[in-house]
Amino acid sequence: MKQSESFRQAIAAHAILLPIDAEKGEGVALARRYGVYAYPTFVLASAEGEVLDCWLGFGEATPFLETLAEAAAAPVPLSERRRQFRKAPTAAAAAKIAELEQFGGKFGEALAWYRRAEELGSETPLGPAILETIARGQRSGLFDETALFEPAQRVMADPRSDATALSETVRLLDEATRDSAKRGLYLDALKTGAARLTENPRPANEDRRARAALLAEHALLVEGQPAAALEWRRQSLAEGWQEDAAALNELAWWCVERKIALAEAEGYARRGVSLAASDAEKANVLDTLAELRAAQGDATEALDLIREALRLTPDSDYLKQQLARFEGVAAGGSN
């Protein structure tokens, strides 16, 4: 508790904290207003609610506080950033505006600003950010899947692309080409990425987890080696994953999505259930376990597990849908 209190105070030194549940009350409108697409999204806003900065996710306390301190030290609203750019256009300023526009869900504007940053000679490779913008625009219906292909190929061919960029690009291509006639583009990117990531010598500061995530998919889909794929996938997890309910759930979910190592995945999910620190987390892993049991042919246990998850988090619309689905499976319907 002391640690969380000191962390809370460290945040309070820089900003007024407003935790919002995106699925309840005012949170629904705020999530829409700020273009939230993943949890958690952190928005640094002015007193009037105008965006000053934003970023995704929470990993470690120290880098989180550094990001916050940096953003809070120079709180410039987006409108002011645009004014400053007109006076003194720089690639870095254009890229920052693009990033904020992207967060706010203005994907067309964000792309135009990224292009501007490239024209101004950005030293930072912007391919991954452009790709992310297009992927989000695609999910919102602004672009079709083909818009992703050329920028993705640019990132894959760019010698500056590191393991993180290659792995993320391959992941986006995976999402964009599922059930598509263009699936070959994803497999080609997997092969290119795996070739790049197995070159020697390895970069000293390489993101080993990103590398392992890509090589896991390559081992499964290109080499047809599920055991090797699972080993790579384990290596893609953070240290201590065996004691982390969220990581165990992630691994079990990866297996169930790919229909491999189901018995082993069941062990991971059961351990995740036992380690879950809250009802919400336990419900989440129970859902994964239910999927696993259904995939193994035990529709009755799957249904029991979903009922238990729903008992823990009765307001979850997702779990209500899952319950209806598993009731259908248990009654003899299709999965």
Partner 1 sequence: MRRLHAASLALLLALAAGPALAAAPSTLADAGAQSLADGKPILIEIGAAW
**Contact between 74 and partner 1 (CB under 8 A)?**
no
**Contact between 335 and partner 1 (CB under 8 A)?**
no
Residue range at the interface with partner 1 (CB under 8 A); choices 87-95, 245-253, 259-267, 295-303: 245-253
**Contact between 318 and partner 1 (CB under 8 A)?**
yes
Q: Is 282 helix (H, G, I), strand (E, B) or coil?
A: helix
Contact assessment for residue 65 and residue 18, using Cβ atoms and an 8 Å cutoff? no
Task: Count Cα atoms within 13 angstroms, Cβ side, for 9.
Answer: 5
Contact code string over 15-54 relative to partner 1, x by CB under 8 A: xxxxxxxxxx-xx--xx--x-x-xxxxxxxxxxxx--x--
The correct pick among 10, 69, 72, 222 for binding partner 1 (CB under 8 A) is 72
Sign of CA dihedral 129, 54, 67, 250: negative
Contact code string over 144-173 relative to partner 1, x by CB under 8 A: ------------------------------
Quote the tokens at residue 326. 């598993």
Residue range at the interface with partner 1 (CB under 8 A); choices 12-20, 131-139, 164-172, 176-184: 12-20
Quote the tokens at residue 269. 């999910």
Residues in the chain: 335
Q: Least distance from C-beta 86 to partner 1, angstroms? A: 24
> 259 to each of 171, 303, 306, how far by Cα in Å?
18, 19, 20
40 prior amide bond cis, ω within 30: yes
Contacts of 229 (CB under 8 A, 6+ apart): 216, 217, 219, 220, 258, 260
The correct pick among 10, 11, 120, 142 for binding partner 1 (CB under 8 A) is 11
Cβ-based nearer residue to partner 1, 59 or 201: 59
Task: Count Cα atoms within 13 angstroms, Cβ side, for 271.
Answer: 18
Contact code string over 271-290 relative to partner 1, x by CB under 8 A: ------xx-xx-xx--xx--
Q: DSSP letters along 146-178, please?
A: GGGHHHHHHHHH-TT--HHHHHHHHHHHHHHHT
Q: Which of 249, 246, 214 is nearest to 233 (CA)?
A: 214
**Contact between 250 and partner 1 (CB under 8 A)?**
yes
**Contact between 76 and partner 1 (CB under 8 A)?**
no
**Contact between 236 and partner 1 (CB under 8 A)?**
no
Binding site for partner 1 (CB under 8 A): 1, 3-5, 7-9, 11, 14-24, 26-27, 30-31, 34, 36, 38-49, 52, 56-59, 68, 72, 75, 246-247, 249-250, 253, 257, 277-278, 280-281, 283-284, 287-288, 291, 313, 315-316, 318
